[in-house]
Structures are given as C-alpha cells and as structure tokens.
Amino acid sequence: MEGVLENLEPHKESLERLVIRYYAGFTLPRWMLSVEESVLSNIVDLKLDWCPNLKVLPALGKLQFLERLDLTGLKAVKHLGADLLRVENGASTSSSSVVLFPKLKYLNLYDLSEWKEEEHDVPTTTIIIMPRLHTLKIGYCPKLKVEPHYLFPPWLETLELWGDVGVLSKSLIMSLTHNNNNLKSLTIKYFPHSSLPQGLNQLTSLQELNFYICKFLDFKPEELKPLTTLCTLEIDFCLIMSIRSREDWSILTHIPNIVIDYINITSNSYSYPGLPAIGGPIGHLLEQNAQVFKQISANFATLQIHDVHKNINLFCQTLDNILTIMNMYVIDLSPGLFLNDMPGIMKEMPPLPVKLNEELANSILPRPTRPMRS
C-alpha cells in the first residue's frame, strides 16, 4: 500500500488540493514528510480521511498556504499537537520568525479516537499558532484529557463540538474563556452529558448557541443569563429540554430568537435551516403539531402509555392539521417535484421524498375530520 502511494507523487507547482481517503498504510509517502520542500508546499486544502493505521503526521504547521485542514478517522494518532506543531531542529523559535499554520482558516478534527494530548506535546517556546483560524470543528475524541489550547486562537469565531470530546465536553474554561473573547457561534451536537460544559456561560461575545440531539442535556434557562449578547438560542431534538414550557424560557428576555424543535417561540413561527420563518395559518398549525408531539413524547416519558385513547386523539389531531395544510393548496407530493406554483414560503420548500400513505393512516387512526382533497 505504501509503495503505491509513494509512486503517485504529484507535481509540486500545480498541487493546491489533496485528499487521501481510506489509506490503510502505516506511514505517509516521503514526498509528504518534509513539508517545506515537499509537493505540499503550495497546498491550500488538505484532507486525510479514514486512514486508521497512521500514527504520526507530518509537521503540517509549516505549510505557509494551507487554509483548510480536515483530519477524520485517524484512529491511531495519539499526540496530535506534537506532530502538527513540530518545529524542525535548527529553526529559530523567536516569536517574530515562527508562525505555525499562518493562513489556516478552517480545521476539522473528527473521530480521532486515540487522541490524548499531553502537556509536552505543545512547544513551550514563544510561537504564534493559527492566527487566522476562523472555524473549528472537533468530534468524537473521547480520550482527550488535556485541553488543546493552541486550537483556540483569539480570533476564532465558530466552534462545533460533536459527541464525546473528552475534557472539552466538561470544561471550556481554559481553552476559550482565557484565550478567546471573539467566539460568535457555538454548536454542540450529540452531547453525552446532562450539564453544560463549565465556562460556557462566560463566553460573553457569543451571539448564536445551538444544541442538536443532546438527549441527556438538562440545564436551567437562567444559566444562560450571563450571555447578554446572545441573539439566537436553538435547541432541536433534545428530549428533556424540548418539553420545558414557554414560561421556563421567558426568563431569557434578552434573547430575541429562541427556537425549540424548529419553532421560534418568541415569534410564533416555524423555522427550519435554509428556509425563512413560516408564519400565518400554516405556521400556527405546524407549531400546534410540534406541541402535540411534545405532549405525546412527555406521555411516553412519564409512562402514561396506558392512556391509549388520549394518545390516539393527539395523533389524530396532528394528522388533521397536516391534511388541513395540504388542502390549502393542491400539492403534488411526487418525489423530485418542487412546489413551483405555491405562493410565498411554500415555493421555497424542498421536494418531499414520500407521499402521505392515507390508507395506512386511516387503518391505524380514526378518520380525520378533513379528508384529503383530490
């Protein structure tokens, strides 16, 4: 495997983007190792995806033109900082001459399951690291035990944390609150804990905070009061948080947009990524359905499943609302068709992948009060 990749050496002058995916070798080819003189010297976009046997990476911090770096599925890498931030012997370490990742804007570190990081993995000399980093994504690095503070430069604006990211799932104090006062957007997905990471409410410049599919998450709304610059709070598919009442969230009067399961509870409108808010009668019915589903979910969560008739009535209500919306217009739900003839927001909705199986719905639930218009 190594021999094949070794013989695929590209031309140095023309290489700006490189993707190496599903590589089973244990070492990278020689033409990637000495980065300053290698074919990577002009690289702008580099991706190493699902190379499970690689243990050591090149000193990528020396790449002067690299703007985007994706490292995913590198399951054998343990000391990321020691590799990426390596300064070659004989190089000057004065702050005026050593800048690592000088143009890097986007960094994605995903599924580095053995990444541990040690204090000695980061150079102790005075160097500048990632001065232009704008967006950082870290996901599924459960063994990370030392906060990689070098990944959080002062001008970082967007941060995403996916799943268990070790020490960062528990605390952001050292990484963000001490180094960064410019973070604008924080997204947390598949969070494994019930409480917020320590230090999150100290991110005083935060404008957007998103939680997605965090089934254990359970915090009190007042914990976000210190985030006075927050403009949007969105919580989607987080079971415990979703069943809180509007009164619980009303304490956050300084946040103009609070979205729970795609319902903007501050403006009574339906919100979905990439689409404008849906208001009016359709928005009202969609919001009503969202509330009904929350009630059904709460019934199951509190083991009120014995009240079968109550839950069936709730399901019937949602079906009735759906048919009401569909009856407002004659809509062709065939896959691949757009709603080009619909006015306003309906025109901008994506094609629906399935048709409503009315026969199946009627066999399970009582006949709705509004039949489907043909």
Lowest-confidence region among 6-15, 110-119, 285-294: 6-15
Q: Is the dihedral of CA 78, 80, 81, 83 positive or negative?
A: positive
Please state, for a pLDDT cut of 70, what percent of the chain lies above it.
Answer: 69
Cβ atoms of 215 and 193 closer than 8 Å: no
| H/E stretch holding 284 | helix 280-301
Q: What is the DSSP string of 211-259?
A: EES-TT----GGGGTT-TT--EEEEES-HHHHTS-HHHHTT-TT-SEEE
pLDDT at 290 over 90: no
> Tokens standing for 56?
């050591």
Average pLDDT of span 223-252? 91
Does 353 score more than 70 pLDDT? Answer: no
Sign of torsion, CA 307 311 313 314? Answer: positive
pLDDT over threshold 50, residue 242: yes
Token pair, residue 371, equals 């039949």
Q: Which amino acid is at 259?
A: V
Instruction: Quote the pLDDT of residue 164.
Output: 95
Contacts of residue 76, Cβ cutoff 8 Å, sequence gap at least 6: 52, 53, 54, 55, 114
Please check the confidence at residue 34 and state whether its pLDDT lies above 60.
Answer: yes
Mean pLDDT of 311-327: 77
Q: Where in the chain is the domain with CATH 3.80.10?
A: 1-165
Q: Which residues of 11-20 are buried (b: 16+ CB within 10 A; e: fewer)?
A: eeeebeeeeb
Distance of CA 316 to the CA centre of its chain: 34
Which strand (E) or helix (H) includes residue 322?
A: helix 308-327
pLDDT value of residue 48: 95
pLDDT for position 371? 47
Residues 6+ apart with CB under 8 A from 344: none
Give residue-wise pLDDT tens across range 256-277: 999 998 888 887 665 655 555 5
Mean pLDDT, residues 113-119 taken together? 87
Rounded Cα distance, 272 and 249, in Å: 20
Amino acid at 8: L
Report pLDDT for 285. Answer: 73
Please check the confidence at residue 83 and state whether its pLDDT lies above 50.
yes
* Confidence at 299, pLDDT banded by 50, 70, 90: confident
Looking at the chain, how many residues does it have? 374
The per-residue pLDDT for 108 is 97
Whole-Å CA distances, 237 to 241, 263, 274, 321: 9, 12, 18, 21
One-character DSSP codes across 177-195: ITT-S---EEEEES---SS
What are the CA-CA distances from residue 223 to residues 203, 249, 254, 258 (Å)? 12, 11, 13, 15
| Segment among 34-43, 99-108, 151-160 with least mean pLDDT | 34-43
More confident residue, 374 or 157: 157
Radius of gyration for the chain, computed over Cα atoms and rounded to the nearest angstrom: 25
Confidence of residue 31 (pLDDT cuts 50, 70, 90): confident
pLDDT attached to residue 293? 79
3-class state of residue 308 by DSSP: helix
**Between 32 and 55, whose confidence is greater?**
55
Q: What is the pLDDT of residue 92?
A: 43
The stretch 66-75 carries a mean pLDDT of: 96
Does residue 243 surpass a pLDDT of 60?
Answer: yes
pLDDT at 355 over 50: yes
How many Cα atoms sit within 13 Å of 135 on the Cβ side?
Answer: 9
User: Which pLDDT score is estimated for 195?
Assistant: 95
- How confident is the model over 3-13, as pLDDT tens digits? 567 767 766 66
**Taking all residues of the chain, what is their mean pLDDT, rounded to a whole number?**
79
Query: Looking at the predicted structure, is the pLDDT value of residue 288 above 80?
Result: no
Beta 257-260 vs 263-264: how paired, if at all?
Answer: antiparallel
Contacts of 125 (CB under 8 A, 6+ apart): 87, 93, 98
Contact 111, 67 (CB under 8 A): no
| pLDDT band, residue 179 (cuts 50/70/90) | low
pLDDT at 158: 96
pLDDT at 136 over 50: yes
* Cα separations in angstroms, 330 against 301, 343, 356, 370: 37, 12, 14, 14
Structure tokens at 17: 């983007």
Per residue in 181-221, pLDDT tens? Answer: 689 999 999 999 999 999 899 898 999 999 998 989 999 99
The answer to whether residue 100 scores a pLDDT higher than 90 is: yes
In contact, 143 and 118? CB cutoff 8 Å? no
Average pLDDT over residues 320-332: 63
Residue 111 zone, left/alpha/beta (φ > 0; ψ -120 to 50; rest): left
What are the residues facing 69 on neighbouring strands?
Answer: 46, 107
One of 3.80.10, 3.30.70, 3.30.310, 3.40.1130 is the CATH number of 1-165, namely 3.80.10
